[in-house]
Structure 1
Amino acid sequence: MRAKIRKEIGDAKLCSLVDEARDASNKEQMAIILRFVDTEGFLRERFFAIVHVTDTTAATLKKEISDALSCYDLYIINIRGQGYDGASNMRGSWNGLQALFLKDCSFAYYVHCFAHRLQLALTATAEKELMVNVIQTHWSSNFDSLCSMIDMYSSVITVLENMMNDGASNSIRGEASDNGDNKSALSTLQEKSLDILSAMNYVSTTKTLLRTLREEGFDLLLSHVKEVCVKYNIEIPHMEAHYKSGTGRSCQHNDSITIEHHYQFDVFIAAIDFQIEELNNRFKDDAVELLKFSCALEPKENFKLLNVDHIY
């Protein structure tokens, strides 16, 4: 199979995608994926090898990757992209795997896996908001339900569609429709053909929505909270009253802060700022720009995205 893949590559440049994990016997294994444009002009992504490594240091990984490639006359000088996770042994600027390859080939640009970036951003936000323990606590009890849901996915969708059309009341039809819309959104995000430019647009749109929510969302949220409190006879604090710390003691600084100010700036805006900061840290402008430039030769719709300046 590797010989066949080598024939597909021909004289083309290539990108390497690498990740490592321990197998059932607790041995470190490294998977190597190659992306390239084949001799007929089609973009290919091939699982090339899985290699046992004695450790996960950058030097060891580089040697094993180089050896695996050189056996089939594939050389580092022809690498035009590297894709790994964000671990220090991978992304380190001085001694990481990407840095070691860059020393041998200055065109081997490194891109931190975008799915991994998003996972890190979401995890950090969840930890900041003290949600991780709650998720872990309830996960085991929900696991069986989720497995059943996956097994019966097609049947669930059929039921939702029937409820949307024949529900006994408007509320039932509306709720089924909302769940159907969520299903469509999830399906869109899971499409294998989702291109880089679309992914970048999703990230940019998310940042914009978060900023809009930061500037305009608190009053709307507060009004909804008050409606819920009234509905369930929950006491609403006087929002203009002075805010006091959880210990019951107020300092001079807190005496000048109202309850509304505390919830708006110390809770609502602080949480959103943290999410925006995480996205900015994980999806830096230079990496995003590089990937947008890479779409300048996208052949879809008669090269609609062709941009001479980006190519240059």
Structure 2
Amino acid sequence: MTIVLRYVDNLGFVKEIFIGVVHVKDTSSLTLKNALNEIRGQGYDGASNMRGEFYGLKVLILQENDTNFYVHCFAHQLQLVVVAVAKKHDDVSEFFEQISLVVNVVCASCKRKDLLWEQARQRVQKGLCSGEFETGRWLNQETTLVRAGDTRWGSHFNTLTSLMKLFADVLVVLEFVKVDGGSLANRQQASGILAYFKSYEFVFTYI
């Protein structure tokens, strides 16, 4: 468990100071309580083991020391708000639903994942031979599509970044599924995604 002190300075800037890493055998509320028992104020996310009404970490701490206070992590709240607001916009909501479907279809089997990886490998190899890609440490690392999570808005950014890097390779996999998908539903999904990629809504939202 990582312990970080977060506060706002006199200028209104949020500061974070790394305190240390504490080993915990599990993430149950009681175990976390014992590890945090000496800390006056805590801030965590809204998971049930943290803010549960009866057995959450917040309740266990307040039972022994009512001067402590619980703060639902503001950064986490902001991420939840951004995701909720984005879903209220029809085009943005449709966009991320389609992106989620892309990840599901392309990464649905080892065969498709292998095809994605092989296409990326060939593309990078060709780029290196032609001088289009630079060589160096940490460059041209193997990657895959990243699934977005509603509780982490940053994961949506990672999903889009991975799709940008692998877009040409993803198209190859989708064309493969469109023709040789294991079921009619799979072929229809791939065909629908490819059609969406050519739409004005996708291009406008993605760019």
TM-score in same-fold range (> 0.5): no
Q: TM-score, normalised by structure 1?
A: 0.27
User: Which of structures 1 and 2 has the larger relative contact order (alpha carbons within 8 angstroms, sep 6+)?
Assistant: 2
Q: Which has the larger radius of gyration?
A: 1
